[in-house]
Amino acid sequence: MAAESRVDTRCGHVFENGKRCEQEGNPCYLGGSYEEPDEYFCGKHQFEQGYCPGCGLFYGGIESFEFSDHHLCDNCESEIQVELEREDALMDETYATYPFDCEDDWTREALGTDVC
């Protein structure tokens, strides 16, 4: 069994007590290219180490990444925004299919027959 062919994909984060994070890691790329992963970190530690949990690329020290709403790089962040907008549009469509004013009409009619 050649040890070199076995890639250790566990999260490389080591806690203060010396224990290693047990989570399965995602490939992380330091150089900005997807050729060989430099390290592996789980979603949580990926961000702590400066890697975008969305794409695995290194964005450490970049303000727009470190203070982003979803802890994602600009690219992944804008993808999520598109996704959220799509969901909003879907909700609008759903509401359009079931107009709630129907109920109002029904209530008014029912009350109308009872008045006086």
Interacting residue ranges for Zn ion, rule: CB under 5 A? 11, 13, 21, 23, 42, 45, 52, 54-55, 73, 76
Give the shortest CB-5-to-Zn ion separation in angstroms: 24
Q: 40: which 2 tokens?
A: 């592996």
Nearer to Zn ion, 14 or 91 (CB): 14
Question: What's the min distance (Å) between Cβ of 4 and Zn ion?
Answer: 24
Cα distance between residue 103 and residue 80, in whole Å: 36
Give CA–CA dist 95/113, Å, rounded: 29
User: Which residue lies nearer to Zn ion by CB, 21 or 30?
Assistant: 21
One-letter amino acid for residue 95 of the chain? Y
Q: Are 15 and 44 in contact (CB under 8 A)?
A: no
DSSP letter (8 states) at residue 39 = E
Q: Which is nearer to Zn ion, 8 or 103 (CB)?
A: 8
Q: How far is the CB of 66 from Zn ion (least distance, A)?
A: 13
